[in-house]
Chains A and B, each alone.
Chain A
Amino acid sequence: GAVVSQHPSWVICKSGTSVKIECRSLDFQATTMFWYRQFPKQSLMLMATSNEGSKATYEQGVEKDKFLINHASLTLSTLTVTSAHPEDSSFYICSARGQGRGTSTNEQFFGPGTRLTVL
């Protein structure tokens, strides 16, 4: 249990376009989802926390109008990178925490990540 999927696994886009990344909890209800970004050889950086049906809480320095997060259901959250630029190229990883078989109260389970390259 406790499987989180992400789609797409990688994406290449032109500068100025928008990219949507989906994160799904496959066998449990994700009451909370987190979005991280990781640059090569660097630590995970939390971008935002989202609860189902609520607005996301963004970390300091993360532009909420650029990184749009929607958590419309207990199994799906999306991250849209709007007007992407080369400096947005990174590894985007979601994680989910919730209730269901194979989960414990505070455990976070990560999706496989999405590698974004902006040309």
Chain B
Amino acid sequence: QKEVEQNSGPLSVPEGAIASLNCTYSDRGSQSFFWYRQYSGKSPELIMSIYSNGDKEDGRFTAQLNKASQYVSLLIRDSQPSDSATYLCAVNEIGYQKVTFGTGTKLQVIP
């Protein structure tokens, strides 16, 4: 069974700090990796997608992928209170329609 593991948190960081969110996955055949942000009471919003090993940067967000270690992370630089949300890691294996979601990490940015 495909599994995606995340620490549920809450992860508390002070405003302006770097928030580091981690995710591990069990299926070595996974090829596509996604980070979603979900505010309380709202639906998930796609932040980043990453497909190859290394770093991918988009504004204050950096996704990091290490397929050998089956590990994907999301770094949020200069964290803001508005970044406080639950961050969902999602993994997809080519040839499979379904994306497997982690249970999410709750991030709290303290002003």
A interface, CB within 8 angstroms of B: 2, 32, 34, 43-44, 46, 49, 51, 91, 93, 95, 97, 104-113
Contacts and interface: CB of A to CB of B under 8 A. Distances in A.
B44 A106 contact: no
Interface of B: 31-32, 34, 36, 41-46, 49, 88, 90, 92, 94, 97-99, 101, 103-104
Contacts of A109: 46
Question: Taking chain B's interface residues, is the majority helix, strand, or loop, or is none over half, making it mixed?
Answer: strand
A96 B56 CA distance: 24
Given A32-B97, A44-B44, A93-B43, A107 B34 contact: yes
Instruction: Kindly name the residue among B41, B46, B97, B98 whose own CB sees the greatest number of chain A CB atoms within 10 A.
Output: B97
Contact of A112 (B42, B97, B99, B104): B42
B43 A112 contact: yes
A106 B103 contact: no
A46 B74 CA distance: 24
Given A104-B49, A112-B42, 16 more contacts: A2-B46, A34-B99, A43-B101, A43-B103, A44-B88, A44-B101, A91-B41, A93-B43, A97-B97, A106-B31, A107-B34, A108-B90, A108-B99, A109-B46, A110-B44, A113-B42
